[in-house]
Structure 1
């Protein structure tokens, strides 16, 4: 019995090391969202461009679109910004959620780097982000024409993500809607 007690710390260590080792190989970009196939959360927020009249989630309905959570303090957001411009130039509606940011900094950012967003709401307190289950910026949601979240991407949208993940899903949704 005494010898068994000596091996107990070793057994605990091996067990914990095993869990950590398995965690190294998990897909870090595939973070499930409880909002998949649920309507985009209700909100009433003003846009960065004004006027001060708030927009709601109803403004997202009518066509397949991307909703991008971004901020000027987010280094990764700067890296993905050129791709959002390209996606918008391809006719894909892109809406923004400016997350926990200074509105003046955000307006300056869009003026300097270009504005891919049909509109970008100011989520200064992060309540919409909380309702979306945002882990941090950037995050991008694919919504269908009814405003239902169909996919969530955590991290930078770049050429690979657009071509291999988001664009095929957009095309699939278009086919589904055309078939209805």
Structure 2
């Protein structure tokens, strides 16, 4: 019995080391999902982010299924998703943008360099719209149905492998 007691601390240490190693090798999913999915888009009235494009309001997000994309000119993943947004626009998806904490000249330059898939672009200098939507970062996209209800959230950049899921979410919202 005494011999077992001598090995107990070592066994406890090995068990603890295994638990820590498993936790490090399989980190938890830290994606923050919005509680707004399934609810109407909150009241938004955003000034235009660039010249020649209208701003964005809640009224603009009704009547037709739309994809609302939160982006910023300073966001590297936003550059990576730009070709997919242009492909979605070419496929007939209506896309509106919300520029977060950005300067008008920088947004204009970003759109000139990477393409402009947006019908409306609202300026969100203090991230109030972002927080109202329950978004935790950029880029992030929301599928909004014709009644103005958020039906799907995509966290992170829309990459080529995400296109089928985004198109399916848009189709489901119709």
TM-score (structure 2 length as normaliser): 0.82
SS at match of 1:77: helix
Aligned to 1:11: 15
Q: Distance in 2 between matches of 1:129 and 1:142?
A: 15
Give me the CA root mean square deviation: 2.5
Q: Distance in 2 between matches of 1:86 and 1:73?
A: 22
Q: Distance in 1 between matches of 2:79 and 2:132?
A: 24
Aligned to 1:177: none
Question: What are the equivalent positions in structure 2 for 1:47-58 lying under 5 Å apart?
Answer: 47-50=48-51, 55-58=56-59
SS at match of 1:66: strand
Q: Distance in 1 between matches of 2:154 and 2:114?
A: 22
Aligned to 1:154: 155
Q: Distance in 1 between matches of 2:56 and 2:124?
A: 12
Aligned to 1:23: 27
Asked whether the 8 Å contact 1:49–1:119 carries over to 2, the reply is no
Asked whether the 8 Å contact 1:48–1:122 carries over to 2, the reply is yes
TM-score (structure 1 length as normaliser): 0.80
**How many correspondences in the alignment?**
169
Aligned to 2:168: 168
Question: What are the equivalent positions in structure 2 for 1:94-109 lying under 5 Å apart?
Answer: 94-109=95-110
Offset of residue 133 of structure 1: 2.8
Q: Distance in 2 between matches of 1:58 and 1:50?
A: 20
Aligned to 2:37: 36
Q: Which ranges of structure 1 fall in alignment gaps of 5 or more residues?
A: 175-180
Asked whether the 8 Å contact 1:100–1:124 carries over to 2, the reply is yes
Question: What are the equivalent positions in structure 2 for 1:120-131 lying under 5 Å apart?
Answer: 120-131=121-132
Instruction: Please say which structure displays the higher CA radius of gyration.
Output: 2
Structure 1 residues 9 and 167: CA distance shift in structure 2, 3 A:
same
